[in-house]
Structure 1
């Protein structure tokens, strides 16, 4: 939540009482002295456009906490505990010594609003601009490239679960779709006795390959019947959640299936494909999440974070979050783009990275 900051100091303000103890050059001292200019109220005005009421936490406080949280690798709960009990955090964020931090869920709210805004990286951009303006990396022409997989909390869904869930979603999001489902999507109920309003696992003999193929056939044909019964062109042109639901249903109805073994593809018989679709959607709950693995043994679901770091100072000069799979999101492709776009590089640069960055295009 967002509130306005006040220039008046509290009688127990930590910065006033013990600000001189903060090490010169430390991020705590830097935020204590400059957070109001770094993160003015106007920087976050677009995140809370409603004029009804005024959220209670100033943007400069939230932004300072997010910066410190990122630097120290803390969870939301650990970050608010540090703001409550660590005097350095209190001084950096302008908190009095006896003040309790806000609830950890506020960080989730702010991140969600930042992520959906037109400037999702504004906090990082401000810090990077300060790095460039102060010359903290001036003359330093080496950059380290690295990436890591960030786990997504969403559970990976199989084809059957995705199809059922997405038919339900279309029924919720698209006006009139619920009636189309009742009239046209009848194959699942005919096969298992369960409709799309049931949350139970379809009752079939799961160890029987033929039974599994019959279930996939029923679900795919129900999905195609639903798409055929809707004005897809008009819904897509209108955009918004209905268009997204329709597009995702069409995707999951085709990404994992292929015609049955003795089918020519025209008789409506399907089975799970004997291959993995490129850029496969792993969950309809979070369609942007992808399956990836940094090593053969370590397999993860989520996103990939890319970073450019000046190695002597440890300052990050560029960051980007991408899907975890696909050639456009590879380490070398994204790394090359970030190095070229890095505004703190003013001349020839020496790039350090592992073998993932040793492609021909990257070397060129």
Structure 2
């Protein structure tokens, strides 16, 4: 299918007349058309379509339909029906009353094309560009960022169900790709059919620990037997490249070990870290994330919104990552993305997960002041509530010496690298610490050791720790609280807590469409003077 860029059609007189009669006070879809016109130009999506072939449905129209679909939490079929049957949608899209619309599968194909050509952000960027032209959004203001955990579109599986289901998926794939190859295997005709004929969560698994371990190791043995069959030189090579087989091989390496003693289930500490560990054969990109004691299988979405007084608060950037990605890894990405879009804020309000001395200094170099709590000093005071912390010592950066609270002067100062980051290592005299009157208060080791950040980072942390304890600092940081309303609105109105799709790419596109839909809600409230609700009070 091809795209031939054409100007968006104007709203016909008959469509406008019926729409005004049906909605004398207007509605969201109609106000979007009145304020922004066609919103999306098809030229933005030309790269996703061929230059030759039959004409496609207008990509600009499909983009707006996709956003309206998320604004009203509709399925693809319901959205296509709305294009055919709802007068407010026909008005927004500039369609005639008798326009038959399109098949709902076109929306799925359109999303696939956006992902394949990296055009997902065009949806949100177009709306933001329209707002910037009208003075509803500006650079150099304030922004705030927070993350939302997104549950994958998969069923939760325990570890035993997971390996069993992975084996079943591999067998089902091979049964379609090479039924004759499996039919000639004795094991398939005997035990495998009974063990893997239904989903792992559809029948009763062993309850006792010993029985569960034995069952898991039987499944592991079956998996290795299947992989041995596929590795046989007589087996067609393409079978080993099937996605389900590659996944089986990866999962078995994570969950089992095979040696001279046989196949054994790995202990929890022998498995790879969560960032690399697959949790479901139905979505290999989902990961198990943990935040404040809550665990979920899926992804994490980071939202950034403007929060300037006197302007609508609009979502300016969204990024979706694996659930195990730490928040601080996204701070720089947010700054770079907003700078590229001409929306770089002067102040960004975040929680402690997005801050560090290094992040704050990097942001300052870009002209952004990151405002958020930094970690308090660690050590014995933080753990036991008493004793000396590293910050209690007086640091003389010029002479490269430190003086402890008891007046002892350090004997050694060296620059080192820990975890790839520069650090300052300071030692005190063992004799002085041992004979000192506050030995038990200072350290439990033979002598005191300090590990500090480089000077600029260390002094910044000291300053921030003092500021965030003051009433002025607490009042300033209160601006960040409004982003909780954005999270609430995204969950309640757009259902962003659980993704509709499998895979990180499709989930990321869904979150972009959600952000665009929320912006339409907020613009509509701004145009109509609708006050925000109590939950969204600081966000909308």
Aligned to 2:151: 151
Deviation at 1:90, TM superposition (A): 3.3
Distance 1:141 1:241 in 2: 54
Q: Deviations over 1:265-324 (max 9, x none)?
A: 531231363357423222211211223355535x43332222222123322222222222
Q: What is the SS of the residue equivalent to 1:206?
A: coil
Q: What is the SS of the residue equivalent to 1:288?
A: coil
Distance 1:109 1:199 in 2: 31
Aligned to 1:262: none
Matched, 1:194 2:193: yes
Does the 8 Å CA contact 2:48/2:113 hold for their aligned counterparts?
Answer: no
Q: Structure 1 residue aligned with 2:355, among 338, 344, 358?
A: 358
Matched, 1:349 2:346: yes
Does the 8 Å CA contact 2:144/2:348 hold for their aligned counterparts?
Answer: yes
Deviation at 1:154, TM superposition (A): 1.9
Which residues of 2 match residues 333-348 of structure 1 at below 5 A? 333-342=329-338, 343-345=340-342
Q: What is the SS of the residue equivalent to 2:336?
A: helix
Aligned to 2:280: 283
Distance 2:48 2:131 in 1: 25
Q: Deviations over 1:86-123 (max 9, x none)?
A: 65543321134576765655544433443344433332
Does the 8 Å CA contact 1:310/1:317 hold for their aligned counterparts?
Answer: yes
Does the 8 Å CA contact 1:291/1:300 hold for their aligned counterparts?
Answer: yes
Q: Deviations over 1:58-93 (max 9, x none)?
A: 3222211223444x3633377567656765543321
Which residues of 2 match residues 30-179 of structure 1 at below 5 A? 30-31=35-36, 33-35=37-39, 38-40=40-42, 43-44=45-46, 46-47=48-49, 51=53, 57-70=57-70, 72=71, 74-76=73-75, 88-96=88-96, 106-131=106-131, 136-157=136-157, 158-168=161-171, 171=174, 179=181
Deviation at 1:136, TM superposition (A): 4.4
Q: What is the SS of the residue equivalent to 1:74?
A: coil
Give TM-score scaled by structure 2 length.
0.51
Does the 8 Å CA contact 2:142/2:348 hold for their aligned counterparts?
Answer: yes
Deviation at 1:250, TM superposition (A): 1.7
Does the 8 Å CA contact 1:171/1:178 hold for their aligned counterparts?
Answer: no
Distance 2:355 2:327 in 1: 9
Return 5+ residue gaps in structure 1 as ranges.
Answer: 260-264
Once the two structures are overlaid, the 10-residue window that deviates more, 342-351 or 248-257, is 342-351
Aligned to 1:316: 315
Aligned to 1:222: 222
Distance 1:331 1:121 in 2: 20
Does the 8 Å CA contact 1:13/1:91 hold for their aligned counterparts?
Answer: yes
Does the 8 Å CA contact 1:14/1:95 hold for their aligned counterparts?
Answer: no
Distance 1:193 1:348 in 2: 59
- Say if 1:247 and 1:194 are closer, same or farther in 2 by CA, change over 3 A: closer
Give TM-score scaled by structure 1 length.
0.71
- Say if 1:231 and 1:176 are closer, same or farther in 2 by CA, change over 3 A: farther
Aligned length, in residue pairs: 342
- Say if 1:205 and 1:318 are closer, same or farther in 2 by CA, change over 3 A: closer
Deviation at 1:206, TM superposition (A): 0.6
Aligned to 2:34: 29
Distance 1:74 1:203 in 2: 34
Distance 2:17 2:101 in 1: 16
Q: What is the SS of the residue equivalent to 1:319?
A: strand
Aligned to 2:514: none
Distance 1:112 1:15 in 2: 36
Aligned to 2:403: none
Aligned to 2:491: none
Does the 8 Å CA contact 2:11/2:91 hold for their aligned counterparts?
Answer: no
Does the 8 Å CA contact 1:217/1:268 hold for their aligned counterparts?
Answer: no
Distance 1:232 1:248 in 2: 18
Distance 1:266 1:43 in 2: 57
Alignment RMSD (CA, Å): 4.6
Structure index of larger Rg: 2
